[in-house]
Amino acid sequence: MKKLTAFVAGLLFGIGLLLAGMANPAKVLGFLDIAGAWDPSLALVMVAAIAVAWVPFHWAMKHPTSLLGAPMQLPVSRELDRRLIGGSLLFGVGWGIAGICPGPALVLLPTGHWQAWVFVIAMLAGMLIFKALQARR
């Protein structure tokens, strides 16, 4: 049941990304181009996503397990440190250069866009480098 729930949640998330235009790099870059032909439509998508997620997140903070009995694994640290700020900056720069972020990149893989494949390979390489650096700490 957990795998089916995860599959359905991922499928709904992917469909939502496609419908919202988040998997279209041109639309994302139009949103990021605040000095040019700015497209504010993705701001509405982000506000709607925050509004929809607000209730479940508040519910999750008050319960030790999910509806399917899995333990809740919410972040416990509320500290802004160099790693968080640096990672956020790196994510933002990558988003601005590529016009996609990890979720939409995975949605684009089956479409044959070579840019999505390059992005996902670079993302996986970055994850492996991070894991290796963490192991050395």
State the total domains in the chain.
1
Q: Return the pLDDT at 85.
A: 92
pLDDT category at 119 given cuts 50, 70, 90 is confident
Domain span at residue 68 reads 2-136
| 72, 65 contact by CB (below 8 A) | yes
Of 112, 118, 101, the closest CA to residue 32 belongs to 101
Q: Return the pLDDT at 42.
A: 85
Note the Cα 44 to chain centre separation in Å. 16
Q: What is the DSSP letter of 109?
A: G
Q: Which two tokens stand for residue 52?
A: 């929809």
The model's pLDDT over 17-51, given as tens digits with 9 standing for 90+, comes to 888 888 888 888 888 888 888 888 888 888 998 99
As beta bridge partners, residue 65 has 71
| Residue 65 DSSP SS3 | strand
pTM of this prediction?
0.68
Q: What average pLDDT does the structure give for the chain?
A: 87
